[in-house]
A = this chain, B = another copy of it.
Amino acid sequence: MARTQGSHSDVTGPKIQRSALRLFAQHGFAAVSMRQIAKEVGVQAGALYNYIPDKQSLLVSLMQTHMEEVLAAWHQKAADLQGQDVLARLEAFTRFHIRYHMERPDAVFIAYMELRNLTPENFARIEALRSAYEGELRLILQEGVTSGQFEISDAKITTLAVIGMLNGVMTWYRSGGRLSLEEVETIYWDMVRKSVSPMVG
């Protein structure tokens, strides 16, 4: 039977996810206890097990949700770019990646750092999602090569290099610093553009 009113559980579930996300990002999966999570949710440790089967699953669901949301957000953005020039699409990807990820530093951190705590099947699932996301960039690069606008040695490596460079922003950027995020985006876009363009020098 469908629930027609809000209940405690409707708010506790998401609260667990938020608390776990923050704590895992801050101290690492292994260093966070169920009791710490419970305390932040405002509940006893035993109650968590009404929402999750075990600690592992909590981590997996956080990672999977994050990856699916990135992919979905990009697909939505990509729909708006239909028919646009390949250079505009690459710029859009660059700015999207930086901006979207900077808004979710905790989830990004976890999705990149806690892969070793996953069982092989779960690892494969998460990696497939990441691979799909990388494929979106790779497609743009390959189109640019076909059209003669880009000149790259290897589409796969170049994809990884670009994403690695963009990911670097997460490790040092803090709002309130010397540059706004938009300025940072512009600097990175400038470098990305040059790094995949033919060089006349």
A residues bordering B, Cβ < 8 Å?
A: 26-31, 113, 116-117, 152-154, 157-158, 160-169, 171-172, 179, 184, 186-188, 190-201
Neighbour of A28 across the interface among B30, B162, B164, B186, CB < 8 A: B30
Q: Please, how many angstroms separate the alpha-carbon atoms of A28 and B153 in the complex?
A: 35
Neighbour of A158 across the interface among B153, B186, B191, CB < 8 A: B191
State the oligomeric state as a number of copies: 2
> Would B153 and A190 count as touching, CB distance under 8 A?
yes
State the majority secondary structure of interface residues on A. Answer: helix
**Contact residues in B for A160 (Cβ distance below 8 Å):** 168, 171-172
Q: Please, how many angstroms separate the alpha-carbon atoms of A113 and B31 in the complex?
A: 13
**Contact residues in B for A171 (Cβ distance below 8 Å):** 160, 164
Closest Cβ of chain B: how far from A190's Cβ, in Å?
6
**Contact residues in B for A186 (Cβ distance below 8 Å):** 153
> Would B198 and A116 count as touching, CB distance under 8 A?
no
**Contact residues in B for A113 (Cβ distance below 8 Å):** 113
Neighbour of A197 across the interface among B27, B152, B193, B199, CB < 8 A: B199
